[in-house]
Structure 1
Amino acid sequence: MEDIMARIMMLDDCDKSVLNCHDVEEVIVRVQTPRQFVEIVKLCAWGVTEWLDHSPQASEADSRLYHESFAHPVLFLTSGVKDTLVFGGGDFALAAEIRRHHTVRRIQIIDWDREFMELAKKHLGTLHRNTWKDNRIRVRVEDVFEYLPRINKKFHVVFGDLVDLPSWNSLLPDAGKHIKNVLAPNGRFVNQSGNGNDIEAPRKAFLAGLAEIAPHFRFFWIYGPDIPFFRYRQFFVIATDDERFNPLAFTEAEINSRIKRRIGTGLEEYSGIRHRGMFALSRKYRTEIRAVLGNKFPQYEYI
């Protein structure tokens, strides 16, 4: 009988009453920075993984699925994006996808943990692919929630790669107003919004987060892929005032054509068929979202 006491494991309580266990092959980094507890661990099943304050952030095995899904739906369906802002993103993995778009001239990253960023540069190369060396990258070491009200520049797309939506207003009252203030006219805010599984606890948390930001934007689009490492469906929210923006108005062929024309080959996960699938939500979930957003949720009409 295998001696399970000799195994080293990483534990992730991804849902209430659900615990994921991961066999560890190698502990690469385990350190408390001035900001957070950082672990970079090679797992037997997932390769090199990133954990912050004991919460899994990314894995070598499916980082491309997460970050391609985060970046490309909004960027391929928006023309002329030049200036982008990333809240968080100190592992540079999201920036690695944004930089594929040649119209982008600036990727401003605001992350509060300088030490973590240096560790990421050294140990998370399979995630960021040396993106931090790109001369379009600008890094500012700040607490986003303290710095956001002081930003006086405008960006075409803002990515929120921080905590899930429900905690925003607790850290910065009226956060949606401040996000809106850094967007160019008809800009887009794309936020990673956590666990999209259709079970009670994450569903309530997600809907509460939507309710906080709902007053500040006219339209919301919600989508996401299943991330095997997380063991749940990852939700992303696109918020905008642009009534012309409709990610479901494009066929699979049209999206594939844009990918080929703009960046050629190289994507591992994002495609026209995956794009359409990510926006498919259950009727029950769409109904509950519409109860929060009303007619700000045009996606409700799509089956």
Structure 2
Amino acid sequence: MTSAQGLQVSPTWDVNCSNNGNHLYVNGATGLTGSRVAWHQNVTVSRGKMYKFCADMKNLPQCGFDIKPIVSVQFSVAGFDMTNQVIDVPAGNCNWQSVNQVLTMPAGTGQFSMTIRILLDETGIGDGNDLAIDNLTLVEIPQTPLNEVLFNIPYINVTPTSFGLSGEPLAPLGEGCGYFWEVSEIDANGNNVPGTTVTNPSQWWGQFPNTFNGYNGTSTLVGNMPGVFDITKSYRIIYGRWCECTGWNSYAHELIPNPRATITEPMLIIKKENYPVSADKMAAAIRQVKAQSSVKQKSNAGMEMNQRKF
């Protein structure tokens, strides 16, 4: 309904917006058990992609003992639900509360159907629990450009039996971006050797260049000195980046023993563009980089994205 039509239903259903704007009004019940679905839709998404869900919500106060709406957003892709979002917007001209979430689809190719549901808690005792919803949008986030995940890996502290590395990203980290490092010994087939992988520890956040402090060939960092690598073994170094307006991308260097090793080139380097990382690891990295960069989830009308608006 429009704002004008909402006021005809209830004099308190005032969103303070233009009279011809359409919104979804939810006349929430109170004093019941559990939650009820206020809105749901199935959408087609692509495997391995990242998406951002956005919705604007506004509580519609009542004159009596007013209940603030408590909303949950559920996705059929596990791990991204938002629960118990209290919608409490100060009075003002067309004020709305933004509810949004970044989702990473399972790895693979092809498309599948994902269900999104908005649920309204109806257990509160009192009046109100009415809600307006607008601007429901699902946005595919484009991949971070390859040139932003390229990095150099010069040698440091080279000895006849060991060496160190200095991870140096070529592009500066932009605002609203986070990053990810992983180091592992690899076997002849390029598989990680169990017990040798270190994935994005907090000790490596904020280090530019990253000298992989504490790495000693195991999954447990020891001390705070630059990492030490065995000159007879092979390793993979992964650098990934994720930003507020661009999705995950990564790059890898694989280092294998050099039969003609020198003090300046103890290893041979193989470069891997867009190195595949599991969806679970991407999701974990995103949670970590949110902490390290304090990413604020906000809308950006100028983003170049494939957008689906409901």
Q: Is the shorter-chain TM-score for this pair beyond 0.5, marking a shared fold?
A: no
Per the normalisation by structure 1, the TM-score is: 0.23
Higher helix share goes to which structure? 1
- Who wins on radius of gyration, i.e. which is larger? 2
